[in-house]
Amino acid sequence: MVILTLNCGSSSAKYQVYDWDAKDVLASGVVERVTQEGSSITHNAKGKPEYTLNHECPNHTIAVELIIRTLTDPEVGVIKDMSVIKAVGHRVLHGGNKFIKSVVVTPEVLDTFREVQDLGPLHNPANIMGIEAAQKVMPNVPHCAIMDTAWHQTMPDTSFMYAVPHEWYEKYAVRRYGFHGTSFLYTAKRAAVLLGKKPAETNVIVAHIGNGASMCLVKNGQCFDTSMGITPLEGLVMGTRSGDCDPALAFYVMRKTGMTFQEVDTALNKKSGLLGITGKYVDRRDVIKAKDAGDKQAQLAFDMECYRLRKYIGAYIAGMGQKPDALVFTAGVGEFSAPIRQGVCEGLAHLGIKLDLEKNKIAMTRNAETCISADDSAIKIFVIPTDEELVMTEDAYALMKGTYDVHTKFTYSFQSPDYVNKARAEGLKKDLAKNPNLAKILIKIPGAK
User: Annotated catalytic sites, by residue?
Assistant: 148
| Range of lowest pLDDT (7-16, 29-38, 117-126, 343-352) | 117-126
In this prediction, residue 447 has a pLDDT band, given cuts at 50, 70 and 90, of confident
pTM, entire model: 0.94
Superfamily of domain 2-147: ATPase, nucleotide binding domain (3.30.420.40)
Indicate the class that CATH gives domain 197-383: alpha beta
Residue 120 binned pLDDT confidence (cut-offs 50, 70, 90): confident
Residue 119, pLDDT score: 80
Structural contact between residues 102 and 404, judged by C-beta atoms closer than 8 angstroms:
yes
Q: What is the pLDDT of residue 171?
A: 93
pLDDT at residue 93 in the model: 87
pLDDT class of 358 with cuts at 50, 70, 90: very high
What confidence tier does 60 reach under pLDDT thresholds 50, 70, 90? confident
Strand ranges, E, within 162-244 = 204-209, 213-219, 222-226
Q: Is the pLDDT of residue 406 over 80?
A: yes
pLDDT band with cut points at 50, 70 and 90 for residue 136: confident
Element (H, E) at 43: strand 40-45
- Chain length of the chain: 449
pLDDT at 52: 95
Q: Where in the chain is the domain with CATH 3.30.420.40?
A: 2-147, 197-383
How many percent of the chain have pLDDT more than 70? 100
Q: Is the pLDDT of residue 9 over 90?
A: no
Q: Residue 448: which pLDDT band, with cuts at 50, 70 and 90? A: confident
In this prediction, residues 170-177 reach a mean pLDDT of 94
Distance from C-alpha of 4 to C-alpha of 393, rounded to nearest angstrom: 7
The better pLDDT of the pair 129, 54 is held by 54
